[in-house]
Structure 1
Amino acid sequence: MRQSIIAAAILLAACAATPAAEAPPATAAAGPAIPYDPATNRNAAEAPSGAYTLDGRHASVIFRLRHGGMALSTYRFDTLSGTLDFNSAAPASSIVNFAIAANSVSTGILNQAGERGFDREIQGFIGAEATPNITFVSTAARLTGPGAGIVSGNLTMNGQTHPVDVEVSYHGWRFNEARQRHTIAFEGHAVIDRTQWGVSGGVVDRVASREIEVFIQAEFNKAN
C-alpha cells in the first residue's frame, strides 16, 4: 500500500533523528511453528523400508526469485509425481525420483483478459513444450545431522541436465489410517542458477534473478 508524501517525509525524518536500534539477541530455535502430531514417529531408523510413491495431493514445489533485483516473487507447480526407495537401516542409500509437469506452473496472476498468460510465458521460458517434465533423479546422499542430509542428483529442465544438491529434512513417519498404509514425509531446499539450464536472455534476464530458490514438501505412501 502506498504511503502518502507527508507520511513518508515524517518517517524519513524520524529515521534520521533516531539512532538505529540494536538487533535483538539470537535465541535458540524453539521447534517448528506448527508442531508435529504426537502420533508422528520422528525416528527414521524405525520407518518401514521399501518402495514409496509420492502423494501428489500432499506435496508441493514452490520456487521464488527476485523480481527486478527487488522484491521476491513466489510461484508453484501444481502437478507432481515421484517415487522413493527408502532404506531405514542406511538412509543415505535411499533413492528418490521426482517429476514436475512443466506446464503446471501457477503464478496466480491473470492478465487483463482474465487469462493465465503469465503462466504460459514461464512455460515458454522453461521449455515446457519440448521438455514436458522437469525431473530430479538422485545419485547419492549423505547425512549431515539428526534428521538432515544432502541428496545429490541430476536435474533435467529445458532439455538440459545438470547436478544439483538438495538440503533435506526428515519430518517423520506414521501409519495412515485413512489410506491403511505407512506415510513418510520430508522437506527439501535448493538454490539453482537458471542460466545453467538455458533459461536466459531477453525479458528473463531483465526481470528475474539468476538464482532461483526451490522449496519442496513431500509425503510418500508405502506400496502395499
Structure 2
Amino acid sequence: MAGGETKGIIMRFAILGAALLLAACATTQAAAPPAAATASSTASPIAAGIAPSEGVSRNPADAPAGAYTLDSRHASVVWRVRHLGLGLYTARFDTVSGSLTFDPANPANSSVSATIAANSVSTGLLDQQGERAFDREIAEAFGAAAHPNIAFVSRSAQVTGSAGGLITGDLTFNGQTHPVTLEATFHGGRFVTLRGKHVIGFSGRTIIRRSEWGVSNWLAFTGDEVEILIDAEFIKD
C-alpha cells in the first residue's frame, strides 16, 4: 500500500479524540484571611473498580496449587498507542493461549507463559469495501508473515502486596526477544460448578517501546510507547 494511502487510513480511522478535563478555579480575596479555612472535595460517584462477586476469595492461599490453562474465551489482550500526541488509539488481539503454574503458598514461585497470533489484530475498523484492511496492515507491520506468534515467558516474579506483584519475562515479537516487566493483580478465585473446576483471575499491565522490537511504522502519527493491558481467567487442569 502506498504511503499516501496508509496515511489516509490512519487519519480516517485512527483518531479517537482526546477527553476534555474539567478545571476548578480558585479565587483569592485581598481582604483579611477568614477565621477558619475549610478544605472540601467532591467524591466521584463512580466506583474505583468493579467489585468481585460473592463467593470469590481474594486470598491466593485458597486456590489449588498446580497447572492452569488460560480460558481464551474469557481473556483479552488490549494495546493502546498515543495518536498525534492526543488520544489513545486502542486495539486488541483476538487469538491468545497460555498456561500458568500457580504456587499459592509462595506466589513468587509461580510462572506463566502466553502466545498471541500476531495476525489476530482487531481494530474494529473497516475500509470503504467493508474489509479489515487496516488490521492486515498492522499485522504486516508487526512482522506476522515471518513471525506469526508473539510470545511471553516469565522468568521471575515478585510479590508487592496482598494481591499484587511484578512479573519479569521475555517478550518475543517481530522475531526479536527483549525483557519486559508486567504489573500483575490477582483478582481472586472460586470453584465454578458449571465447569467442575477452580478458576482464578488476573490482570496485567506493561508499557513497551515498539521500536525496540523493530516496529517503527507510522512513528510520525502514533507514539513509540505501547501500553498493553491483559485480563485473564485460568482454569485448573
Say which of 151, 159, 182 aligns to 1:143. Answer: 159
Distance 1:20 1:46, change over 3 A: closer
Unpaired segments ≥5 residues, structure 1: 1-18
Pairing 1:214–2:201 present: no
Aligned partner of residue 177 in structure 2, secondary structure: strand
TM-score (norm: length of structure 1): 0.85
Question: Which letter does structure 1 place at the counterpart of 2:100?
Answer: L
1:21 alignment counterpart: 25
How far does the alpha carbon of each residue in 1:28-55 deviate from its partner, in whole angstroms, 9 at most, with x for none? 9x97532111100110012100000000
Deviations 1:107-128 (A, max 9, x none): 0011111100000010011111
What letter is aligned with 1:177?
T
Compute the TM-score of the two structures, normalised by the length of structure 2. 0.81
How far is 1:21 from its partner?
Answer: 2.0
For 2:15, the equivalent position in structure 1 comes to: none
Aligned with 1:87 (options 80, 103, 125): 103
- In the alignment, residue 21 of structure 1 is paired with which amino acid? C
Structure 2 residues without counterparts, runs of 5 or longer: 1-22, 27-39
Give the whole-Å Cα distance in 2 for the aligned partners of 1:151 and 1:32: 24
Q: Root-mean-square deviation (CA), in Å?
A: 2.0
Distance 1:26 1:102 in 2: 45
* Partner Cα distance (2:52, 2:70) in 1: 20
- Aligned identity (percent) is 51
Residue-by-residue CA offset, 1:141-192 (whole Å, 9 max, x unaligned) = 0011110000000000000000000000000000011111110110000000
Larger relative helix fraction: 1
1:158-197 pair list within 5 angstroms:
158-197=174-213
2:220 aligned counterpart, secondary structure: helix
Secondary structure of 1:124's aligned partner = helix
How do 1:35-184 and structure 2 match up within 5 A? 35-184=51-200
Secondary structure of 2:147's partner?
coil
Residue aligned with 1:206, SS: coil
How far off its partner does 1:27 sit? 6.4
State the distance in 2 between where 1:26 and 1:46 align: 38
